[in-house]
Structure 1
Amino acid sequence: MTTSTEPRPSLTERLRGMSPEMLGFAVIGLSGVVVNFAIFWVCVNGLGLASLRSNVVATVIAIATNYLGYRYWLYRDRDAASRKREITLFLLFSGIGMLIETGVLGLSRYGLGLDGHYEQLGAKVVGLGVATVFRFVSYRTWVFKAMPELAEPEVVAGPEPEVVAEAELLLAAEEPTAYVK
């Protein structure tokens, strides 16, 4: 019995393979950041809303625009068999990301007393950075899963391949029988 196991790719090789996905995630994420900061700035300075409320409004709108980019551009080839599950998980992980972002902003404002406009923007950048890493990992791992037929095949070890090979040999050796009418 012989089994062939290919060596696992190194971390560098896996990161290279993930580069196009990370680039696409960055492009969509950057458009979401622009939407997020623009809405945040309008809510705080134009509408006079509190910074935490403004952050929630801005993040919810950015989440909606990002979902469209992820589903219909970056992860269009991924399994979308259960759209309800996908949207539920997307909203769950996006909500956790929003809590991370808003928590950093709240800590900065109410814990550290940094309430200037630029200090709030700085806290928003830090919170958004941490939340982005969380979102990337959770979206690619649980929300936009690879289609089953595109997933890596598992290496089967044991007697099963030998049994299948023997059965194929037996079937190939059999001569077709002629039916007489």
Structure 2
Amino acid sequence: MSTHYPLHVQTTHSETIVQRLWREVAKFGIVGAISFVVDMGLFNLLVTGPMDSKITTAKIVSGAVATAVAWIGNRFWTFRHRRNRPVHHEVALFFAVNGIALGISALWIAFTHYVLHLDGAFWLNVNAFIGIGLGTLFRFWTYRRFVFASELDEEGRDPSDLVVVEHRSASVD
């Protein structure tokens, strides 16, 4: 008969940080890719339809919808392992951060469209892509640092540094 029980084992700090960062970056990238498709798809639908003369407004609407998609993905998947502050504080921070990132993206679109006169579907898409990229760099850093910040344990370690390893005792027959 064998007994199973988990042991908490501390791996090397740098190894754990790299592994955790990689997992978060990968998940953040997947959520971001889905949000990107929502943002770009809706932006293109709006600028070729009901908001054809309101480029900046179309970008703000598409960005807001993509932000809602990103909230769900990041809250419940990418950063779910972090101990979070009360949800209403986290939501306020998340949408404040995304409001700034959306502002960066919308300002870039407005600047390139109205000042540089880069018109047409090609330039709108190129500049929407660049604006989203600029906002994404800002978002990842602020999500990790402020929005989905984890609490440290009594010894100053991040709880996600602990790795659970299954230990089996020897069978006794």
TM range (shorter): 0.7 to 0.9
What residue in structure 1 maps to residue 25 of structure 2? 22
* Aligned with residue 116 of structure 1, among 120, 129, 132: 120
SS at match of 1:149: coil
What residue in structure 2 maps to residue 141 of structure 1? 145
Structure 1 stretches of 4+ with a deviation exceeding 2 A read 12-17, 147-154
What is the TM-score with the length of structure 2 in the denominator? Answer: 0.77
Cα deviation digits, residues 11-66 of structure 1 (max 9, x gap): x9855541111011000000000000111011111223411111000000000011
Q: Kindly tell me: are residues 14 and 149 of structure 1, through their superposed partners in 2, closer, same or farther at Cα, counting changes over 3 Å? A: closer
Runs (5+) with no aligned partner, structure 2: 1-12, 159-173
Which structure would you say has the larger RCO, counting Cα contacts within 8 Å and 6 or more residues apart?
2
| 1:45 counterpart = 2:34 | no
Deviates more, 1:29-38 or 1:144-153: 144-153
What is the TM-score with the length of structure 1 in the denominator? Answer: 0.73
Q: How far apart, in 2, do the equivalents of 1:100 and 1:153 lie?
A: 34
Runs (5+) with no aligned partner, structure 1: 1-7, 155-181
* Aligned with residue 66 of structure 2, among 59, 62, 73: 62
SS at match of 2:37: helix
CA RMSD of aligned residues (A): 2.3
Calculate percent identity across the aligned residue pairs.
Answer: 26
Task: Please state which structure has a larger fraction of its residues in strand.
Answer: 2
SS at match of 1:78: coil
Please show how residues 33-112 of structure 1 align to structure 2 within 5 Å. 33-49=36-52, 50-112=54-116
Task: Please state which structure has a larger fraction of its residues in helix.
Answer: 1
Over alpha carbons, which structure has the higher Rg?
1
SS at match of 2:81: coil
